[in-house]
Amino acid sequence: MTSTSHDEALQAGPPPVVGDGRALYDWLRRARDAGPVWHDTANDAYHVLRHDEVVGVLSEPLTFSSDFSSLAPPPEPGMPNFTEASLSVTDPPMHTQLRKIISQAFTPRMIAGLEPRITALATDLLDAIEGRDTIEMVQDIAAPLPVVVIAEMLGIPSDDWATFRRWAEYLLPDAADVTAGQFEEGGYAKTRAAELNEMADYLLAHVHDRRKSPKDDLFTRLVEATADGERLTDKQVVNFSVFLLLAGHLTTTLTLTNAVLAFNDSPGTLERVRADRSLVPGALEEVLRFRPPVSFLYRFTTREAVIAGTPVPPGKIIVNWIHSVNRDPRKFVEPDRFDPGRSPNPHLTFSHGIHYCLGVPLARLEFSVVFGAILDRYRALECGTPEFHQRPDIFGVTRLPVTLHRA
Ligand code: HEM
């Protein structure tokens, strides 16, 4: 089915995320029912809305590319180019080689070894709010933890964590700089040139240091990792560490807060998980399905393609809607119900195929440790009025007041 099957309201395009995104979800449901692909003729972009079709797109990286370098403006002179040869924006064969090397360093075993530190960090954060009835979930718990975990995992000294956290904020453009379908590097980066250069120099100094004096940290493992006789260059180690900050910081922060919201909106579910902790891992997957922090994944066609009968010429933007596929009734029973016990749960929030999120074990570990610690201390979490991010590509809150009820 093509755009001709979609009515005029649908042709107006996906509404911006306002509040909890209900209007967007409604639009996606109607668009998905009308057909698997919606052609946005105004922007000449193809929106893929159903689960099987998005899996199909993500499974063909040579036709549906992640390498947007030919579409992005040339890097500004004097600006660090963090996307150059970065894992998430490369295609095979370069992606295959990079991922092979990085996987030698960024292993599930290395992640599992972080558990005691994550537990200690979570305990510190919860001790700091001890005795308070109301907290602001983002600043008090959800935002500080993931960035410190990444800093510590890399081997950044604790004196520099506050600076590292500031850089993590700089890496994310303001809402006004990003609109759907627009490739984002550019204006924002210019205004932050000094900070981003400072960050690049700082990380490079660490890389140089580890080449000379190896330590027990991820910087050292990245510097030493080899596959087929190839190593990462200094620049590639810097770019990967920046990418870790980008990929692993806000996503995890949003997931922790999205979890609190999802439980709050579904009476009885928190009590159920609290009483049976074996449900925690499945509850995380359901939070990720129900309120995915990443709204969509871009690809672009390198050659003539056909998606569910819709021909797509080369050089076109493909918008793969995570919000839509995760609520596709062809895949999920009662997709609009938050069910922490849902199984199977083939959500696509971590993507699919060669770019499948490398940080999944870390995201799962952080969630189970932090959420478990919260459930140990509190029997109920009551949300006040949240404030939502206004960017179209991410979904979650900037502020969430929560009233705590001690166990
Ligand atoms: C709930 C938290 C997270 C979510 C929802 C998430 C989501 C994603 C998604 C959707 C992709 C693939 C993008 C694409 O296909 O174009 C991705 C890739 C990636 N993620 Fe995550 N992520 C999370 C946490 C993390 C963490 C904690 C780390 C590490 C610190 C991480 C590291 C990566 C890396 C390295 C890639 C690139 C993989 C590749 O291109 O081969 N992520 N993530």
Q: What is the CATH number of the domain that holds 45?
A: 1.10.630.10
Number of domains in the chain: 1
CA of 367 to the centre of ligand 1 (A): 15
Q: What is the largest CA-CA distance in the chain?
A: 63
> What integer pLDDT is reported at residue 6 of this predicted model?
53
Ligand 1: nearest atom to the Cα of 149: 30
Domain that includes residue 385, residue range: 3-406
Ligand 1: nearest atom to the Cα of 322: 10
* Distance separating alpha carbons of residues 214 and 176, to the nearest angstrom: 42
> What integer pLDDT is reported at residue 59 of this predicted model?
98
Ligand 1: nearest atom to the Cα of 243: 35
> What integer pLDDT is reported at residue 295 of this predicted model?
95
**Residue to mutate, 88, 357, 362, ligand 1, most ligand atoms under 8 Å from C-beta:** 357
What average pLDDT values come out for the chain (407 residues) when binned by 10 residues? 58 81 93 96 96 98 93 72 83 95 92 96 96 96 94 94 86 50 48 81 96 96 92 93 90 96 96 96 97 96 97 97 98 97 97 97 97 96 93 91 96
> What integer pLDDT is reported at residue 294 of this predicted model?
95
CA of 246 to the centre of ligand 1 (A): 9
CA of 5 to the centre of ligand 1 (A): 34
Q: Which residue has the tokens 């087929």?
A: 228
Q: Which residue has the tokens 């990079």?
A: 98
Of 297, 298, 353, nearest to 326 by C-alpha is 297
> What integer pLDDT is reported at residue 392 of this predicted model?
85
> What integer pLDDT is reported at residue 187 of this predicted model?
55
Query: Which positions ≥6 away from 47 have C-beta within 8 Å?
Result: 14, 31, 37, 38, 39, 40, 318, 319, 321
The angle formed by the CA atoms of residues 108, 373 and 250, to the nearest 5 degrees, is 60
Write the secondary structure of the chain as one string of H (helix), E (strand) and C (coil).
CCHHHCCHHHHCCCCCCCCCCHHHHHHHHHHHHHCCEEEECCCCEEEECCHHHHHHHHCCCCCEECCCCCCCCCCCCCCCCCCCCCHHHCCCCHHHHHHHHHHHHCCHHHHHCCHHHHHHHHHHHHHHCCCCCEEEHHHHHHCHHHHHHHHHHHCCCHHHHHHHHHHHHHCCCCHHHCCCCCCCCCHHHHHCHHHHHHHHHHHHHHHHHHHHCCCCCHHHHHHHCEECCEECCHHHHHHHHHHHHHHHCHHHHHHHHHHHHHHHHCCCHHHHHHHCHHHHHHHHHHHHHHCCCECEEEEEECCCEEECCEEECCCCEEEEEHHHHCCCCCCCCCCCCCCCCCCCCCCCCCCCHHHCCCCHHHHHHHHHHHHHHHHHHEEEEEECCCEECCCCCECCEEECEEEEEEC
* Distance separating alpha carbons of residues 156 and 244, to the nearest angstrom: 13
> What integer pLDDT is reported at residue 194 of this predicted model?
80
Report the pocket of ligand 1 as residue ranges, CB < 6 Å.
66, 87-88, 99, 150, 244, 247-248, 251-252, 255, 293-294, 297, 349-351, 355, 357-359, 362-363
Do residues 288 and 17 touch, judged by C-beta distance below 8 A?
no
Do residues 14 and 180 touch, judged by C-beta distance below 8 A?
yes
CA of 131 to the centre of ligand 1 (A): 35
